[in-house]
Every structure is written in structure tokens, then in C-alpha cells.
Structure 1
Amino acid sequence: MALMHRLAIKAARLVWRVTAPRTIGVRALLLDREGRVLLVRHTYLPHWYLPGGGVKKGESIEAALHRELAEEVGIADARIERVLGVYHSRREGKDDHIVIFVASAGGGAGDGAASTDALEIEAAGWFALDALPATTSPATRRRIDEYRSGATGLGSW
């Protein structure tokens, strides 16, 4: 099943290179009670990332963030605290704008993180901000560094 998902993503990226659609995405720098950040590892990418995804037509940015957190890691009670930044990416052939929110997990979220979408999410885990996995994506590291320094991010992904 993961192979089919990887092939579908590769096909989508080929279409995006031709059509260059404008898209908007959301990601959460989601923190638990201990100040650890939640990261996910996708089935079709080699790195750890902040959880999130695309905003669907007719969906608000806030609703998209809550939907993505529920779908990817089963967290339905995250509290949005602020916007960390808005970034632009042309990396996959899309004209993509990504809104990063700082949010806190409610309830017992820090007790464990579970992938709820086995087709997309291979693993999920909480990590100390100063002890990220070696394979954390460079952009994810930049967003976490911005958060730690108190900066508001803008510009390129």
C-alpha cells in the first residue's frame, strides 16, 4: 500500500511541474506539556516533518490544521497560540504557501503520539527541541530554530 502511495505522489509531482498550481498548506509546531515538539515521518519521504497538509477548497486555514492533526496523529484538541510564519515554496513545482502555527496539545497528548493514517504517516513522536532526530528535514529545523529564537518567519520555505 505504501508503494502505491509513493507512486501516486510521484505522479502528482509530475503534474504539478506542468500545471504549477497555487496551493496553500498548514503545519503545526505542536508542543506538549513538557515542551516537546511533535514530528511525523511520511511513508513517501525520508525525513521527519511538522504535521500538516493542504487546505481543501472551501476550508478555513484553522479548520485544515485541526483536520490534518486529527487525521495524521489523532490529536483533536490542539489549541492554536499564534502564527509562527508564512512561507513560500516552489520546490515540488507548485506555487505553495505554507502557514505554520504554534499550538499546544491538550489532554494527555504528551503521553504518546500515534500515526492514524498508515498510508501517509509511517511514524510520529515527541522530541525535545534540542534533541531532534538526525533525519529531521532542513526546513523543519529552520522553523523550530525560528520558534526557539522568538522570530517570526517569512520568505522562502
Structure 2
Amino acid sequence: MAWHHRLLGKAAQAVWRITKPRTIGVRAILLDQDDRIALVRHTYTDQWYLPGGGVKKGESTNEAIARELAEEVAITHASIERVLGVYHSRSEGKDDHIIIFVARADLPSGSWLQRGDVIEIEEADWFPLDKVPASTSPATTRRIAEYRTGVSGAGAW
């Protein structure tokens, strides 16, 4: 893991605790033709997450998720099926609203998942929905469970 990414993350969290910015984030339950889910592990954390990130100023949420999928997992052709839910988090000191999209990657069956940004993404891989790594973040695990049971979510991240 890149120690400097961890330090930058800690510094950002300290600033956020003081300034308490309101942010909007997007993440995707990105599935392939075999119904495997894409998960990423960033260089600054040990847990697996849904691919995604922050919405930039002047950017729509649809543009943001398309950009984030290209940046994190090199997927440039994904079809958005629906919104799973909108969630709220204050865990990093931000007033963060996260929109979870359900999307399907336009890839042949059995395709490998690539890291888009090798500086930010330590690992990216497809996993069967019922066999995600034990080190998957709790919020990611909850979103996957909601998807699998057909629940549209909202509320706390």
C-alpha cells in the first residue's frame, strides 16, 4: 500500500472534520454477463469497495459514474439499469450523500477486470455475489445484500 496515499487521506479527513463540506458521491453495483460484481481495493485502504467516487462541480451523477468506472476499472461501456438507493454518511467528517447505481458491463462472458488508475487502485476483480471477500467494507456488504434481496435502499450509509 502506498503510505503517502494513506497520509493524504488522513489529512483530508482532518480538514473535513473542520470544514464539514457537503459532497455527492456515486458508486456502482457493476455486474458482468456472469452476474459477478466488480469490487476495488484502493491503495489507501485494506477493504474492498464498489467502484465510484465524488461528483465534480458541473458534472451530472450519470457523467460521474461513467467517469469513475472508466478511471477505476477501465469500463467505458456500461448500461445503467436503475438506482439502488441514496445514502447519507458522516463517517469521514463530510456531509456525504452517495447514490448507488446498478449497472451492467458490456463485456463478453468470463472477461477479466482491469485497474484503470494503477496509482489509486491496488486491485480490481469480479466476484460472485455470494462470495465477496471477507475484507469487503461493511457498507459495501450492506449494499450488495440490498441488491440481492431486491430492496431499494435509503438512509444511513
Q: Secondary structure at the match of 1:111?
A: coil
Distance 2:28 2:52 in 1: 6
* Residue 110 of structure 1: how far off its partner (Å): 4.6
Q: Which residue of 2 is the match for residue 151 of structure 1?
A: 151
Q: Which residue of 1 is the match for residue 52 of structure 2?
A: 52
Q: TM-score w.r.t. structure 1 length?
A: 0.97
* Residue 3 of structure 1: how far off its partner (Å): 2.1
Q: Secondary structure at the match of 1:39?
A: strand
How many residues of Structure 1 are paired with residues of Structure 2 in the alignment? 157
**Alpha carbons 1:27, 1:50 under 8 Å: kept:** yes
Residues 32-86 of structure 1 deviation map (CA, whole Å, 9 limit, x = unaligned): 0010000000111111000000000000000000000000110000100000000
Q: Secondary structure at the match of 2:106?
A: coil
Amino acid at match of 2:134: A
Amino acid at match of 2:10: K
CA RMSD of aligned residues (A): 1.2
**Alpha carbons 2:33, 2:107 under 8 Å: kept:** no
Distance 1:86 1:73 in 2: 22
**Alpha carbons 1:75, 1:109 under 8 Å: kept:** no
Amino acid at match of 2:52: G
Q: TM-score w.r.t. structure 2 length?
A: 0.97
| Stretch of structure 1 that moved more, 96-105 or 7-16 | 7-16
Q: Which residue of 2 is the match for residue 141 of structure 1?
A: 141
Q: Secondary structure at the match of 1:133?
A: coil
* Alignment CA distance shift 1:48-1:18 (3 Å): same
Percent identity reads: 66
Q: Secondary structure at the match of 2:76?
A: coil
Gaps of 5+ in 2: none
Gaps of 5+ in 1: none
Residues 93-122 of structure 1 deviation map (CA, whole Å, 9 limit, x = unaligned): 000000000000002375111112122110
Distance 2:56 2:110 in 1: 28
Amino acid at match of 2:74: G
**Alpha carbons 2:32, 2:107 under 8 Å: kept:** no
